[in-house]
Amino acid sequence: MSTNNCFPKDFVWGAATASFQVEGFTREEGGGESVWERFCKMPGRVAFDHNGDIGPGQFKKYKEDIQLMKWLGIKAYRFSIAWPRIFPDGETLNPKGIDYYNRLIDELLDNGIEPWVTMYHWDNPWALEEKFGGWRSKETVKALEKYVAYVTDKISDRVTNFFTVNEIMCFTSLSYESGSHAPGLRLDRKTVAQTVHNGCLAHGTALAAIRANARRPVKVGIVENMPVTVPAFASEENIVAARNAFRVMSASKLTPIMEGKYPDFWLEEMGNDVPEFDDAEMKLISAPMDFVGCNVYAPTYVIADADAMHGFREIPHPAGYPKMDMPWLFIGPDITYWAPRHLKELWNVDAVYITENGCAAQDRMAPDGEVYDTDRTMYLRHHFMAAERATAEGWPLKGYFVWSLMDNFEWSWGYTKRFGIVYVNYETLERTPKLSAKFYRETIKQNAVV
Ligand code: NOJ
């Protein structure tokens, strides 16, 4: 164990955002409508019917934002590309659509910040939803392939690190089962299972398209929000239980991606609702990645239970369990330690990035113009302690991206939830680094938990 709370020298400190959440101005330079743009127009689907028309406006303010990143000292900026800017109707190329990303990438590199690109972070062209039923259809996967191939060709001369898709569950189950995400449908189990499979296939297809079209050697991985299982306390049996639970709870997503097949117990459980797939698809889905990205927010506690089907039992959070400012945001910094450890122990993964971690808090600007988010600072510091523990013990954690660089459009919560370490005034678009941003800056400067 290290005694000075220091991170390895080459640890990647970064910040993350996503196109629809920060850019605004989605239709400029020939962009098309995304499912989220359409969803925002459906009354009552998004808090206060907020939309992404302007948001924090990074499309216009990227230079200012990059100066903020430089001040923070981050080495990497994870952002996503808006698919409908490039293929407005899902199928026809808009050559001007890539210009914004070229400007953004060049400006980042000029300022010494590495661009880390997510190909798909939920803003798929609405036209594909209308034409094919979105992720219900493999036609959408084909359209993704064309988009990813094109983008890779245009930017891989300067971008080295790519993510395929972000959080399969959120653009499949939340979109077609609970309906809280665009396009807001509530469909049957078989259809939903097909969207999840198509989400895995989208990952595999994008992975292959990036590798096939890259102009230089690049690195590629997925971003998943797998349930991160934490042993309720770290006895040998509970550790084993948590590790098994990690695999079991990802049975329809990360587990087939890592193992090339759906686990038997899952196929049995799904019965007639198993999605349609074949061996070639499973091969594509499970092609080797260079790293695994984990979005970690809240823990899933488990204990060993010899009588349970898989040898573990999930412990629900008690009523008074502490949370940050989201119904699901239970505090549990140990996830930042257990995610890389489980990934190494289960599947021998050698590089893990925390691609998102952070929290919503009820930020208010104080009379002196500062935002004293001691709650977020506390939340982050404990995750850094867990990250440092992971690196000190030799688990393959290589970097960390805070979610988020700035307050942004929090999907169905609109602008009512603030996840940024930089405060955004949505009237003036003024940016104000919060206390947590100053804390993050010092952390990066010392490369240690401060
Ligand atoms: C994960 C998603 O990738 C991101 O878009 C979202 O804003 C954060 N979680 C917070 O909910």
Whether 4 is covered by a domain: the verdict is no
Q: How many other C-beta atoms are found inside a 10 Å radius of the C-beta of residue 218?
A: 18
CB 375 within 8 A of CB 433: no
Q: Give the pLDDT band of residue 2 (cuts 50, 70, 90).
A: very low
Q: In terms of residue numbers, what domain contains 142? A: 12-446
Q: Which amino acid is at 195?
A: T
The atom of ligand 1 lying closest to the CA of 410 is 7
Tell me if 413 CB under 6 Å of ligand 1. no
Spacing, Cα 102 to ligand 1 middle (Å): 24
Ligand 1 atom nearest to 166, measured from its CA: 3
Catalytic residues: 167, 356
Is residue 6 domain-resident? no
Q: What is the pLDDT of residues 162-206, one digit of tens each?
A: 999 999 999 999 999 999 999 999 999 999 999 999 999 999 999
Q: What is the pLDDT of residues 72-123, one digit of tens each?
A: 999 999 999 999 999 999 999 999 999 999 999 999 999 999 999 999 999 9
| 159 CA → ligand 1 middle, Å | 23
On whether residue 7 sits in a domain, the answer given is no
What pLDDT is recorded for position 227? Answer: 98
pTM above 0.95, yes or no: yes
Residue 2 maps to a domain: no
Q: Is residue 122 part of a domain?
A: yes
Closest to 163 (Cα-Cα) out of 352, 299, 329, 348: 352
Per-residue pLDDT tens digits for 305-343: 999 999 999 999 999 999 999 999 999 999 999 999 999
User: Residue 394 class from Cβ within 10 Å (0-12 exposed, 13-18 middle, 19+ buried)?
Assistant: exposed
* Residue 5, domain member (yes or no): no
Q: Which of the listed residues 46, 408, 409, 410 should we mutate to test ligand 1's pocket, taking the one with most ligand atoms within 8 A of CB?
A: 410
Q: With bands split at pLDDT 50, 70 and 90, how would you rate the model's confidence at 1? A: very low
Per-residue pLDDT of 390-405, as tens digits, reads 999 999 999 999 999 9
The domain that holds 428 is classified in CATH as 3.20.20.80
Q: Say if ligand 1 is within 6 A of residue 295 CB.
A: yes
Examine residue 3 and state whether it is found in any structural domain, yes or no.
no
Number of domains in the chain: 1
Please indicate, yes or no, if residue 200 is contained in any of the structural domains: yes
Q: Whose CA is nearest to atom 7 of ligand 1?
A: 410
